[in-house]
Amino acid sequence: MKVRFAPSPTGYMHVGNCRTLLINWLFARHHGGVFLLRLDDTDRERSEKKYETALLEDIAWLGLEFDAYERQSDRLERYKEGAEMLKASGRLYACYETPEELEFKRRRQISRGMPPIYDREALQLTDAQKTQYEKEGRKPHWRLLLNDAPIDWEDLIRGPIHLEGSKLSDPVLVREDGFPIYTLASVIDDMDMNITHIIRGEDHLTNTAVQIQLWRALGIADGTIKFGHLSLLANADGTELSKRLGSTSIRDFRAQGILPMALNSLLAKLGTSDPVQAYDSLDALVNHFDISKFAKGTPKFSMEDITHMNKKVIHTLPYEKAVEYSHFSSMDSLFWEAVRPNLESLNEVEMWWTICRGTVRTFVANEDKIFIREALASLPQGPWEPMPWKEWLHLLKTVSGRKGKELFMPLRAALTGQDHGPELQGLVELMGPDLARKRLEGALL
Ligand code: GLU
């Protein structure tokens, strides 16, 4: 068993691609198969080295290591060979239309209520006409001659699929400059690299139909490769994933303090019959993985979902991992244990560190000043081993007559400068007697 993730390095990886990556990886790991990362980089104008580098970084950050790595740009000779084979068998034909001419045809078809399928005008060209075009400096692009044969497959996710070759447009496989187009390169690679299962988005359904005809033309029998087409993620209201969310890159999420296991946990289960829950390692996801649990329905994705999942993952994140992911190496494990239950994002760590160990402005409302003076006067002397928290609170309740919110809110504001946060006791213990005293004094200024 061998699967591949085949991104084009023309942009940063976003959530839709990340889901395809993860599901292929889980499929391979669950079945003990091989996971290939293949760079679809035949589009020379749009592919960039920086996107390739970013992709490798993102994959490593997600923890989804691959077993093999290929680049289409290293295999151009092989695609030429494939194209020559198709020319020889009469399945690849030369076309000379300019992009403007093609666009004109397309518009005319649409205005007549016809599907914009290439009309195969080039098949009527005589040798003399072709020579004339070449003399004029036109270079041909090459299309695959589809046949009318029906195309059927049993999709791993969508069940039986049936498409008619006659309703599809002959795809361009080789550009004017001789470079192969993704469709050709991908089919030759999947064949040469012995890919057994192709799992990708449902936006590739028509591609699959075309590619099945192309495999047939290259001598590969139907059924050699199995297909699964994942339903695309949508907004919470079912509409197409918003531009903003759809184009949020994995590195944007990372910069927002989102953890890899939050993305992995959510994306592995969206659109399946399993409950969505936080997983602390990929192993559990691998064990539970089952492609048949993916449904045809549209999975919903929202920023709230990912933030919520992130919170859950953070709440069980061990100290060593927190240091690794937050890049905030100054924190110690006591601090982490104290603030962890209240974090939504790892980006908040530094703020809480400053609150517990650094300098912050704190405040107190006029009506709470007397109370905070009492708190300062009764603050237990150090060293605290441990801090007599209960006794202090008991004393404060007695002298002030306050309890609940009335007691905690001003105390929290005077000690941390915040109106919310982790358990105050833990924070005060991290501050220690001197800093706690300074804070209460500072609030009264
Ligand atoms: N490079 C293609 C894409 O990113 C790959 C599609 C496929 O999996 O064949 O959409």
Q: Is the pLDDT of residue 51 over 90?
A: yes
Is any atom of ligand 1 closer than 6 Å to the C-beta of 189? no
Identify the band that residue 246 occupies on the pLDDT scale cut at 50, 70 and 90.
confident
Position 247 scores a pLDDT of 81
Q: Tell me the C-alpha to C-alpha distance, in Å, between residue 37 and each of 40, 180, 199, 309, 433.
A: 10, 19, 13, 27, 55
Rounded CA separation 292/194 (Å): 23
Q: Atom of ligand 1 at shortest distance to CA of 190?
A: 9
- Cβ(16) – ligand 1 distance below 6 Å: no
Q: Tell me the percentage of the chain whose pLDDT exceeds 70.
A: 100
pLDDT band, very low/low/confident/very high, at 237 (cuts 50, 70, 90): confident
Three-state DSSP class for residue 120: coil
Query: pLDDT of 81-99, one tens digit each?
Result: 999 999 999 999 999 999 9
Determine how many CB atoms are found less than 10 A away from the CB of residue 59. 20
Region 90-111 average pLDDT:
96
130 has a pLDDT exceeding 90: yes
With a pLDDT cut of 90, the percent of the chain lying above it is 94
How much is the average pLDDT of 205-230? 96
| Model confidence at 157: pLDDT above 90 | yes
- Mean pLDDT, all residues of the chain: 95
Q: For the segment 385-422, what is each residue's pLDDT rounded down to a tens digit?
A: 889 999 999 999 999 999 999 999 999 999 999 999 99
Identify the band that residue 238 occupies on the pLDDT scale cut at 50, 70 and 90: confident
What pLDDT shows up at residue 240?
Answer: 86
* Ligand 1 atom 7 nearest Cα: 6
What distances in angstroms separate CA 160 from CA 106, 225, 226, 228, 292, one per listed residue? 31, 15, 12, 11, 14
pLDDT at 147: 94
Is residue 245 scored above 90 in pLDDT? Answer: no
Which 3 state secondary structure label does DSSP give 319? Answer: helix
* CA–CA dist 7, 56 (Å, integer): 11
Q: Which residue reads 């918003």 in tokens?
A: 242
DSSP 33-57: -EEEEEE----TTT--HHHHHHHHH
Closest ligand 1 atom, residue 4 Cα: 8
Among 41, 35, 42, 2, residue whose Cα is nearest residue 21:
35
Tell me how far the alpha carbon of residue 355 lies from the centroid of ligand 1, in angstroms: 47
Is residue 171 within 6 Å of ligand 1 at its C-beta? no
So what's the pLDDT on residue 327?
78
Would you state the pLDDT for residue 341?
Answer: 94
Cα torsion angle, 72, 74, 77, 78, sign:
negative
* Best residue among 4, 8, 19 to mutate for probing ligand 1, ranked by most atoms within 8 Å of CB: 8
- Beta pairing, strands 159-164 & 150-155: antiparallel
Can you tell me the distance from the alpha carbon of 100 to that of 106, in angstroms, rounded to the nearest whole number? 10
Six token digits for residue 258: 């989102």
Asked if residue 345 has its Cβ within 6 Å of ligand 1, the reply is no
pLDDT at 178: 94
Q: Which atom of ligand 1 is found nearest the CA of 17? A: 4
Report how far residue 210's alpha carbon sits from residue 231's, in angstroms, rounded to the nearest whole number.
19
What pLDDT shows up at residue 186? Answer: 98
Q: Can you read off the two tokens belonging to residue 106?
A: 């397309």
Kindly list the distances between the CA atom of residue 168 and the CA atoms of 144, 165, 276, in Å, as whole numbers in the listed order.
Answer: 11, 5, 38
- pLDDT one-digit tens code per residue, 331-388: 999 999 999 999 999 999 999 999 999 999 999 999 999 999 999 999 999 899 889 9
Token reading at 281 = 């390692």
Question: For the whole model, what pTM was predicted?
Answer: 0.91
Atom 3 of ligand 1, nearest CA residue: 7
Give the pLDDT band of residue 148 (cuts 50, 70, 90): very high
